[in-house]
């Protein structure tokens, strides 16, 4: 069974530029999560989807971050414009049932210069 | 604000030693999960505990959920270099279904 796929693995941009990350969850997993993990910290939930609907986006900085899951399968997370403090690993996870076992992708490491 | 505090933040020991790491809170949880994250990878689930006082074993790893379902511990016997990684706990509070995460314990096992 294929795992959670994320791309790109690494991205370096200048501040005020934009970036987009893509995630394809495990087939059949209705719940998809985007987390931000800053070095030395635990994951912080940015947004949670159930199929193509948003369940929780309370910690998403909506002035610069956006995410979509249009067909209830893959998802895109966008940052525009990026700030230095956005440097982090962006992890995508999926689960078969809400708050069941989370399966994570390898993450996308963003460096903002 | 519900918090999960993990301790110690960092632990470096020799191969063959035993260790215990902790995940504590003042909140009551309906379930608690332990994950291990290796450098450059996403976290991988080790175990889920749901019953107060529950003990689960995974080879040399022993997980315990506190009787009051507010805390948990992970004990590793005869640690090996392959146990190196960031150990994260994540829990689902009784009061709301929003998974919260600890900051992790970074474990290094030296050969």
Dist CA A102 CA A11 (whole Å):
24
Check if B66 contacts A (Cβ < 8 Å).
Answer: no
Dist CA B7 CA B4 (whole Å):
10
How confident is the model at residue A1, as a pLDDT?
A: 66
How confident is the model at residue B1, as a pLDDT?
A: 59
How confident is the model at residue A97, as a pLDDT?
A: 83
DSSP 3-state assignment of B94?
coil
Please answer whether residues A92 and A6 qualify as being in contact, where contact means their C-beta atoms are separated by less than 8 angstroms: yes
How confident is the model at residue A40, as a pLDDT?
A: 80
pLDDT tops 80 at residue B84 = yes
CA A110 to chain centre: 12
Check if B40 contacts A (Cβ < 8 Å).
Answer: yes
Closest chain B residue to A104, measured at CA: B42
Most A CBs within 10 A among B33, B41, B43, hence the mutation to make, goes to B43
How confident is the model at residue A41, as a pLDDT?
A: 86
Confidence of residue A72 (pLDDT cuts 50, 70, 90): confident
Question: What's the whole-number mean pLDDT along residues A66-76?
Answer: 92
Judge: A41–B88 Cβ closer than 8 Å, yes or no: no
Question: What's the whole-number mean pLDDT along residues A85-111?
Answer: 93
Question: What's the whole-number mean pLDDT along residues B1-30?
Answer: 93
Confidence of residue B94 (pLDDT cuts 50, 70, 90): confident
Q: Which residues pair with A79 in a beta bridge?
A: A19, A65
DSSP 3-state assignment of A111?
strand
Check if B99 contacts A (Cβ < 8 Å).
Answer: yes
CB pairs below 8 Å between A and B: how many? 49
pLDDT tops 70 at residue A17 = yes
Whose tokens are 């260790």? That residue is B19
Dist CA B31 CA B23 (whole Å):
13
Question: What's the whole-number mean pLDDT along residues A4-31?
Answer: 96
- Within 77-96 of B, beta carbons closer than 8 Å to A belong to 88, 90, 92
Judge: B43–A104 Cβ closer than 8 Å, yes or no: yes
How confident is the model at residue A113, as a pLDDT?
A: 96
Q: What is the mean pLDDT of chain B?
A: 94
How confident is the model at residue A45, as a pLDDT?
A: 94
Confidence of residue A79 (pLDDT cuts 50, 70, 90): very high
Q: Which residues pair with B63 in a beta bridge?
A: B56, B74
């Amino acid at each position: 069974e294929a795992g959670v796929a994320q791309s790109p693995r690494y991205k370096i941009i200048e501040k005020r530029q934009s970036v987009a990350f893509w995630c394809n969850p495990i087939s059949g997993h209705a719940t998809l999560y985007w987390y931000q993990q800053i070095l030395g910290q635990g994951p912080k939930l940015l947004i949670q989807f159930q199929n193509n609907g948003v369940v929780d986006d309370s910690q998403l900085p909506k002035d610069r971050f956006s995410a979509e899951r249009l067909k209830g399968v893959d998802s895109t997370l966008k940052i525009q414009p990026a700030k230095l403090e956005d440097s982090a690993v962006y992890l995508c996870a999926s689960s078969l049932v809400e708050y069941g076992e989370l399966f994570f992708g390898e993450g996308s490491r963003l460096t903002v210069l | 604000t519900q918090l999960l505090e993990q301790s110690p933040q960092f632990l470096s020991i020799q191969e063959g030693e035993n260790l215990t790491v902790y995940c504590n809170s003042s909140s009551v949880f309906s379930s608690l999960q332990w994950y291990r994250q290796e450098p450059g990878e996403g976290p991988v689930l080790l175990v889920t505990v749901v019953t107060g006082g529950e003990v689960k074993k995974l080879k040399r790893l022993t997980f315990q959920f506190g009787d009051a379902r507010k805390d948990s511990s992970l004990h590793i016997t005869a640690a090996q270099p392959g146990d190196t990684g960031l150990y994260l706990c994540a829990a689902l509070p009784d009061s709301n279904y929003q998974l919260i995460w600890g900051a992790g314990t970074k474990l290094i096992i030296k050969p």
